[in-house]
Amino acid sequence: MALYKNCSKFASIIIAVLAFFCLGMNEVQAQNVVVKGKIIVSNSSGEVSTLEAEGYKVWYFWTKDAANDLVKKYHDYQAARKAEGVSSFTTEPGSKGEFQIPLPVGACLVVYNTDSYAPLPIIQISEKNASNIVIKILNDNIMLQETVVEARQKESVKINKGKTRGYGNKLTFSVAFDFPSEFCKSESRLFVSPAAIDCMTEDTVAFLKPFVVDGEEYHKIQNRRMLFDFKNVDPVAPHYKDSVKVTDDFKVPLTIRDGEPLSVKVPIEFTKPDPKKNYSCQGSAILEDYTHTLLTMSDEFGSCNTSNPFKFLDFNLPGTEIELTREFYEPPTAGMHDVPRDLPVRFVTGKAEMVQDEENIALFDKLAKELKSYGDKIIRISIMGTSSPEGSADKNQRLARERAEFAMAQVRSRINTRKIQVPPATAMVYTWKDVVTELNNRAKQENDTIQRQLIEYMSNKVNGLIESGKENSIYGEFRNDSLFNAVLASMRVMKCSYTYQEEKILSAEDAVEAYYHDERYAPGGERSFANGDYYNLLNSIEDPKDQRDIVFRAWDFISMQPGFRFKPFAAYLANRIAMYNMEVENGDTTVLYPFLREDINGVDRKTTISFNDPTLWTVNRKELVANQAIMLLKKGYIDHATFWMDKLPENMEIKKSLKLYRDMIDVVLRWDDPELSDAAKEHGKKSIEHIMSLNPVNKAILMTELKAELDYKDEEVLPAIEALPDDDARKWYLMGELVAAAAGTQADKETMPSSGGAAFDDFGTGYVPMTEDEEDALMARSQNEWKEWNIKREAYEKIKAEKAASGQETESKTLADNGVARFLAYFQASFDIKPAYKRFFAFEGNIETKTFKNFPYVPKDAPKYRDKFRYLLAVRDAKKAAKAEEEKKKAEEAAAPAAPADGGEAPAEQNATSEENKTE
Amino acid sequence: MILNIKNMKKYILSLIIAFTTSVGMRAQMCAINTDLVWDAACIPSLGFEVGTGNATSFVFNAFGGYKPYGLDGKCAGVQPEFRYWLSGRAMHQQFIGIGALATSYKYPSGDKINDGYALGAGVTFGYAFKLSQRFVLNLHASCGVLFYEQKEYFKGDDYDNPTFGVIKTNASGYNMLPTNLGVTISYIIH
C-alpha cells in the first residue's frame, strides 16, 4: 500500500514534470515567423502614395506589455525615440512602404508617424497575420487586412514648417501648429520656444523670441496672479498673443478653449551674428496647465535650406557723388609743410637700447635719406617717444624719453643738424583710458559682429577696472590677448615729424606734372603732395584710372593726419572710396564711419570739434549718409541701413529708391507673418513690380525666386529667364530653380523636335559649323559676327585637338538625353561660369528637400551634367530653328496670292494675260 | 497646562509670528474674507488671505461674538491657516491645509457654564469657486484636536469670587472635533 502510494506520488510528479515541459516548451519555444508588412497611405479619394510611408517607423517588442509601456509613456515620437533601449528595435519601411522582420509569434508592432507624434494601435503578431500585415492608413483610419480590428488613428498634433527666408543678416522662419480638440483645455497655456542652430556645428547659437497663447481660464487666473496687471508684470507678457489678424481692420481672439481645436502660426525672426553662415531653427512647444505638462514636443521649425531671393539682385542704387567744390580745398600753410612719420623701432625690453638688426638700421637710413632729400629746406625735426600704460608711469615716461633721445641721436649721426631746429625729445605715456578709446575705435571699424562684441566687452572690462581703481590688474587680466597686445604695441611706436620749407607752392599744372613725371612724388617717394595738391590733381585729371589712384593715395595720406575726420577734403575722399567699394561684392562699409555720428539726427549738421575747440565741422553729410545706407542695404544689414536711411530728407531721390528696396526686402522676409498688414503686403508687391520693371535681369530673378509668393506660373517665368544672355551664370541658376520641382516626372524630359536635325556637340564652345558659302555670307553681312564665330571655331578645334591627344572621342556625336535631371544640368552650367554659386546651391531653400534627397548633386558626375546641358541647349536651338522655319512658311503663305478653289474664272490679271495671249 | 490671559496672549502672538514669518510675505495676491456661516451664527468673522507662492496661501481669520441670538455666551478667537492649492494656483479650486485655532469662550451648557480657553491645530480642506475675477466662494471644513482649559461651574455659583485670592480653572482636556465648517466669501484686493 505504501509502495503504491509512493509510486502514485512519483508518477504524478513525473507526469507533472512532463506536462510542464511539454506545455512549457511550447510556450518557451514560441514559433518564430518572418513578418512581412506594408504601409499604405491613401487620402479620402482613395489615391495611394507609398512615398508618404517613409514618414512612418515600425517598432517591435517581444511582449504586449513592453509595447503598451512605450505607447502609454510616450505619445510623442521625438521623446520616444530618445528613450533608452527603444530605438534599437525599429525598422523603416522601404521605398514602397514594405518591411520585413523576423519576430516570434506574440511579438507586437507599434507604428509611429514621425510627423504627427501619435502611435497607431498595437499590432500583435500571430501565425495567421505574420506574412501579410497591411497597415492601411486612410486619413484617420487604420485597418488591418485579415483581422476584424478596425482602429482609428488618434488625432495628433500637426506641425507645418514654412519656408526659411533670409537676406544679409536677417533670417525668418515660420511654423504652424494644429492642435486637435482633445489637447485643448481652457486651463492650459501653449509655450513655443524656438532656438537658432548653427548648421555646421549644430550648436545652439541663440534662443529666439518665444510665442505664448493662453487658454481663456488660464489667462484670467494668470492675470489675477499677476495682480491684475498681466501686461506689465508677467515676464512672458511681451510674447503673449491674444489675437490674430484676419484683415487690417479686424482681429479675432486667439485663445485655447475646451474642446475646440487650436491653429497657430508662429513667425520667428533671427538676426544672424555671422551673415555668411547658415542657421536653422529648432524648438519646442509645450502645452501645460497649472501643474502638469499636457504635451511636449520638439522638432525642427526651419531648415538650413534658405530662400534668399535677393542674392543675385542688381541693386539699382547708384552712389551719391559729392561735387568737388572749393569747400574741400586746403591751401598749404604758407612756406612750411609738416610731415608726420611713424618710427616703429624695436628696443630691448625695458631699456633704451635698440635691437641691432638690419630692419631697425634701415628705418633710420630711410628717414635720413628722406630728410637729406630736402637739402637745406628742413626747418625742424622732432621725435616723441611713446609708451603704453602697463607698468610704472614714471618708469615708462623716463624710458620713452630715453628711447626718443636715442632715436634722435641716431638721426643726428646720419645728418648734419647744425642748421636744423631739434627740440629736446619728448615722451608721452598713454593711459588706460587711451587704451579704452583705441579699443572703441577698433570696435567701430570691426565688421564681424562677434569680434566687435568681444572688443567692446574688453573695452568695458578695462573701463570697469579703471573706475574701480584696479588699473594695476588690467595688464595681468589681458596679457595673453593678441588684440590687447597689438593695441599696446601700437602705443609704443615713436612719432617723428619734420617741417620743411616749400620751394614753391605747387600750382595745379605743377602738381599734374609732378604726378606723372616726378619720381620723388611717386608712392613711397621722398616727397608727398599736400592735401591741396591732391585737390588740384582730382580737379585737373580726368582719366578714371588715375582718378582712382589719386583718391586712394590722398586717402592714405590724409587718414594719417591728426584730426583728419574734421577735414572736409577727407570726407570727400572717403565718399569716393565708399563709391568704389560699392562696386565690389564685399566692400568695406566702415570707411565712412569717422564722418558719421549716430547720435545726431538729420544730415549736414554742423557741430563743434570738441568742448575746447569751437571750430565747426560738418557731420553726417547727406551724400555720405546715403552711400552708407546703400552699402549696408546691399550687404544685407537691413536695420542698420534703415537707421541711416531715416536720417535722409524725404525729397532725396535716393531715399525713395532705398525705401523701395527696403520695403520689398522687409515684406518678402515677413511674407508668412500673419501679422503683416495687407496694406504693407500690397505696398511690398508694388515695390517688387517696380523693381522688376527697372531691369530685365531683376525681373527674371524676382519672378523666379518669388514665384510661389507672387503666384507666377512656370510659363510666365520662363521667357524672362530665357531673355538673359547665355553667359550669365544667374540665367542657368534660375533655370535650375525653375525646373527642379519637375525632376523625376514626365515634364522633365526634353525631346529633340523631329525637324530639329541631329544635335551637334560643340564641346560647350557655341560653335556652329557652316559651309563655305554660309561663311562668306556671314563675313559679308557682319565682320564682327564673323570674328566671334571664328573665335568659337578656334576654341572648338582646340578642344577637339586636346581630346584627340588624350585619346578621347573627338567626332561630334549626336547628343542624347542621358536621363540626368534637368535642374542638375542647369546648375552645373551655372557653376562652370561662376563656381562661387555652389555655396548658394548647397542651402537653396527654393528647392524641396525631397528633390535634393532623390536627385543629389554628385561632383564626380559633372561631365554627365555638362553633357545633358549641351543636349538641352541643342534642343532649345532646334526648337527655335523649327519655330523660325514655321513662321517663315506662314509668312510666305500669307504673302502668296490665293488660287480659286472651284476652277472658275481666274482673277482679272490672269484673264487679261490670257486675252493677250489669245490676241498674239 | 495652565492657561491664563497672559499666557493666552503669548500663545496667540506666537502663533501669528510663527505663521507670518515662516512663509515668505512678498507682494502677492491679497484678499479679505468673511465666513458667511459664522456671520449667520452672529459670530462675525473677518480675515485676510495672502498668496505666498504659486500654489500656497496664508489665511488669518478673527472672529468674535457676544450673546449671539440672546444666548448668554461669548467667544473670540483667531484661526491662522496655511493652504496648499492642488490646482496649482492660489484661491482656485481645491486645497488642503493645516491650521490652528486659539479662542476664548464662555457658554452655557445645561446648568453649567464653561468659561475658558482653547488652543488647537488641525487639517483643513476645501474648494474655491471663482465667482468673478475678484470674488471667490470658498467651501471648507477643518478638524483637529483642541486642548482646553476652563472653569466649569453651575449657574449661580459665585465661582469668580476667590476665597484664597486665586481664580483657578477646574477643567481641562482635549477633544478631537471639527474646528471649522464654513462658507467664506473673499474679495481679492490685488
Give B76-100 pLDDT, tens digit per residue: 999 999 999 999 999 999 999 999 9
Phi, psi of B74 (to 5 degrees): -155, 160
| Shortest CA distance from A289: residue in chain B | B88
For residue A219, give the chain B residue with the closest CA: B133
Q: At what angle do helices A544-558 and A568-583 cross, to 10 degrees?
A: 130
SS percent in chain B: helix, strand, coil, step 5:
15, 60, 30
- The nearest alpha carbon in chain B to A292 belongs to B88
- Partners of B114 in the beta sheet? B107, B152
* Nine cell digits for residue A40: 499604405
pLDDT tens digits, residue range A118-135? 666 778 887 777 767 777
- For A363, the grid coordinates are 628705418
Please count the helices (runs of H) and the strands (runs of E) in chain A: 30, 27
**pTM of the predicted model as reported, rounded to 2 decimal places:** 0.63
Residues of chain A in contact with residue B95, where contact means CB-CB under 8 angstroms, are: none
Mark residue A181 as left, alpha or beta (left: phi above 0; alpha: psi -120 to 50; beta: remaining): alpha
Q: Give residue A578's pLDDT.
A: 92
Mean pLDDT lowest for which of A777-786, A867-876, B15-24? Answer: B15-24
pLDDT for B31 equals 94
Residues of B in contact with A221 (CB under 8 A): 89, 92, 130
Domain boundaries, chain A: 1-29, 31-152, 158-302, 505-557, 692-889
A290: nearest CB among B28, B88, B190: B88
Angstrom distance (rounded) from CA A457 to CA A464: 10
β-strand partners of A283:
A194, A299
ipTM of the complex: 0.77
A225·B89 Cβ contact <8 A? yes
Name the residue of chain A whose CA is nearest to B134's CA: A224
Cell numbers placing A743: 525632376
Q: Which of B92, B93, B95 to mutate to test the interface with A (most CBs of A within 10 A)?
A: B92
DSSP B33-53: EEEHHHHHTT--EEEEEEE-S
> Are A431 and A389 within 8 A, CB to CB?
yes
Q: Specify the DSSP class assigned to residue A355.
A: -
Pairs from A548-556 (Cβ < 8 Å, separation ≥ 24): A548/A580, A550/A515, A551/A576, A551/A577, A551/A580, A552/A577, A553/A523, A553/A529, A554/A529
Residue A215 DSSP code? B
Note whether B190 contacts A228, CB cutoff 8 Å: yes
Residues of chain A contacting B92 with CB distance shorter than 8 Å: 221, 290
Of A159, A166, A305, nearest to A671 by C-alpha is: A166
Question: Which of B27, B54, B133 shows the shortest C-beta gap to A224?
Answer: B133
| pLDDT bucket at A906, cuts 50 / 70 / 90 | very low
Task: Write the pLDDT tens digit of every residue in A564-607.
Answer: 888 899 999 999 999 998 887 767 778 899 999 988 888 999 88
| Least confident span in A144-153, A529-538, A769-778 | A144-153
Residue A553 belongs to what H/E stretch? helix A544-558
Closest Cβ opposite residue A224 in set B29, B54, B88:
B29
Q: Cα–Cα distance between A412 and A407 in angstroms, integer?
A: 9
B190 min Cα distance to partner chain A (Å) = 5
The pLDDT confidence band at residue A195, using thresholds 50, 70 and 90, is: very high
Nearest-CA distance A219 → chain B (Å): 11
**Beta-strand relationship, B74-85 and B56-66:** antiparallel
CA dihedral (A353, A355, A356, A362) positive or negative: negative
Set of chain B residues whose Cβ sits within 8 Å of the Cβ of A290: 54-55, 87-89, 92
Measured in angstroms, the CA of B45 and the nearest CA of chain A are apart by 25
Q: Tell me the pLDDT band of A910, cut-offs 50, 70 and 90.
A: very low
Residue type, A182: E
The chain B residues in contact with chain A (CB within 8 A) are 27-29, 51, 54-55, 86-92, 130, 133-134, 188, 190
β-partners of residue A39 are A135
For chain A, the helix, strand and coil percentages under 3-state DSSP, each to the nearest 5: 45, 20, 35
Kindly report the backbone phi and psi dihedral angles of residue A411, in degrees, each rounded to the nearest multiple of 5, phi listed first: -65, -45
Q: In a 3-state reduction of DSSP, which class is residue A190?
A: strand
Alpha-carbon gap, residue A528 to A511, rounded angstroms: 11
Residue A724 has which C-alpha cell? 538673359
Residues near A223 by Cβ (< 8 Å), separated by ≥ 6?
A229, A230, B133
- Would you tell me the crossing angle of helices A729-739 and A696-705 to the nearest 10 degrees? 30
Residues A737/A822, Cβ–Cβ less than 8 Å: no
Q: Distance (Å, rounded) from C-alpha A118 to C-alpha A116?
A: 6
Contact A647, A179 (CB under 8 A): no
Say which of A227, A228, A290 has its CB closest to residue B89. Answer: A290
d(CA B75, CA B68) in angstroms, rounded, equals: 10
* C-beta of residue A236 within 8 angstroms of C-beta of residue A212: yes
Tell which residue, A502, A553, A494, has the closest CA to residue A338.
A502
Partners of residue A228 in chain B, C-beta under 8 Å: 133, 190
Q: How far is B64 from chain A (nearest CA, A)?
A: 31
Q: What is the pLDDT of residues A500-556, one digit of tens each?
A: 776 556 788 888 998 999 888 888 777 778 888 899 999 999 999 999 999 999 998
CA end-to-end span of chain B, whole Å? 42
Query: Residue for cell digits 577698433?
Result: A442
Q: Which residue of B has its CA nearest to A218?
A: B89
**First vs last C-alpha separation in chain A:** 157
Verify whether the Cβ–Cβ distance A225 to B90 is below 8 Å.
yes
Chain B contact set for A223 (CB, 8 A):
133
- Smallest Cα distance from B56 to chain A, Å: 12
Whether A31-152 shares its CATH topology with A158-302 is answered: yes
Residue of A nearest to B187 (CA): A224
Query: Which one of B52, B89, B188, B190 would you mutate to disrupt binding with A, by most A Cβ within 10 Å of its Cβ?
Result: B89
Exposed e or buried b per residue across A378-392, where buried means at least 16 C-beta atoms within 10 angstroms of its C-beta: bbebbbbbbbbbbee
Distance CA B119, CA B97 (A): 17
CB B108 within 8 A of CB B72: yes
If DSSP codes are grouped into helix, strand and coil, which group holds residue A880?
A: helix
Q: Evaluate if residue A34 carries a pLDDT over 50.
A: yes
Domain containing residue B109: 5-188
Q: What is the pLDDT of residue B109?
A: 83
**Min Cα separation A259/chain B (Å):** 20
- Which residues of chain B neighbour A220 with C-beta distances below 8 Å? 130, 133
Question: Where does the pLDDT of residue A766 fall: very low under 50, low under 70, confident under 90, or very high at 90 and above?
Answer: confident
Residue B186 with chain A: CB contacts under 8 Å: none
Residue A703 to residue B5: CA distance in whole angstroms: 92
| pLDDT at residue A431 greater than cutoff 70 | yes
- CA-based torsion, A447, A449, A454, A455: positive or negative: positive
How big is the CA angle at A169 (ends A831 and A674), to the nearest 5 degrees? Answer: 105
The per-residue pLDDT of chain A, averaged, comes to 82
E strands present in A463-558: 494-501
Residue recorded with cell 568742448: A611
User: Which one of A221, A234, A288, A293 would you mutate to disrupt binding with B, by most B Cβ within 10 Å of its Cβ?
Assistant: A221
Distance CA A593, CA A574 (A): 9
In the chain, the amino acid numbered A629 is A
What are residue A385's DSSP bridge partners? A427
How many angstroms separate the CA atoms of A123 and A144, rounded? 9
Choose which CATH entry (2.60.40, 1.10.1300, 3.30.310, 1.10.260) describes domain A158-302. 2.60.40
Nearest to B188 by CA among A218, A186, A217, A221: A221
Mean pLDDT lowest among A303-307, A481-485, B18-22, B156-160? B18-22
**Distance, in angstroms, between A256 CA and closest chain B CA?**
18
Is B95:B52 a contact under the CB 8 Å cutoff? Answer: no
The whole-angstrom distance between B54's CA and the closest CA on chain A is 8
CB contact under 8 A, B92 and A223: no
Count A/B contacts: CB-CB distance under 8 Å.
33
Tell me the average pLDDT across A235-245. Answer: 90
Q: Can you tell me the distance from the alpha carbon of A796 to that of A791, in angstroms, rounded to the nearest whole number?
A: 9
Q: Indicate which CATH number applies to the domain containing B67.
A: 2.40.160
Query: A227, B27: Cβ pair inside 8 Å?
Result: yes
CA distance A538 to A94: 72
Looking at CA atoms only, how far is residue B23 from chain A in angstroms?
Answer: 18
Long-range contacts of B22-26 (CB under 8 A, 24+ apart): B23/B52, B23/B56, B23/B58, B23/B82, B24/B52, B24/B53, B25/B50, B25/B52, B26/B52
A680: Cα within 13 Å, side-chain hemisphere: 19
Given the DSSP bridges, would you call strands A378-387 and A426-429 parallel, antiparallel or unpaired?
Answer: parallel
Q: pLDDT at position B151, please?
A: 84
Task: Quote the pLDDT of residue A528.
Answer: 78
Which grid coordinates belong to A502? 616749400
Determine how many CB atoms are found less than 10 A away from the CB of residue A779: 14
Q: Tell me the CATH architecture of domain A31-152.
A: Sandwich (2.60)
CB-closest option in B29, B87, B130 to A227? B29
Instruction: Test A290 with B55 for CB contact under 8 angstroms.
Output: yes
Contact yes or no for B29 and A291 at CB 8 A:
no
∠A847-A850-A854 over CA atoms, to 5°? 110
Looking at beta carbons, which pairs linking B168-173 to residues 24 or more positions away fall under 8 Å? Answer: B169/B2, B169/B3, B169/B116, B171/B114, B171/B116, B172/B1, B172/B3, B172/B116, B172/B147, B172/B148, B173/B147, B173/B148
Contact in structure between A378 and A418 (CB atoms under 8 Å): no
Tell me the C-alpha distance between A258 and A346, whole Å: 79
Phi, psi of A251 (to 5 degrees): -125, 150
- Of residues A585, A590, A615, A619, the one with CA closest to residue A602: A619
Those residues of chain A whose CB sits closer than 8 Å to some CB in chain B are 220-221, 223-225, 227-228, 289-291
523670441: which residue's cell?
A209
- Nearest partner of A281 among A296, A312, A303, A266, judged by Cα: A303
- Determine the residue among A219, A234, A290, A293 to mutate to test chain B binding: the one whose Cβ has the most chain B Cβ atoms within 10 Å: A290
Domain count, chain B: 1
Considering only the beta carbons, identify the residue of A224, A228, A291 that sits closest to B88. A291
User: pLDDT at residue A143 above 50?
Assistant: no
Chain A partners of B27 at a C-beta cutoff of 8 Å?
Answer: 227
Residues of B with CB below 8 A from A227's CB? Answer: 27-29, 190
Window from A136-140, A232-236, A660-664, A859-863 with minimum mean pLDDT:
A136-140
CA A124 to chain centre: 50
Of A2-11, A196-205, A368-377, B111-120, least confident by mean pLDDT is: A2-11
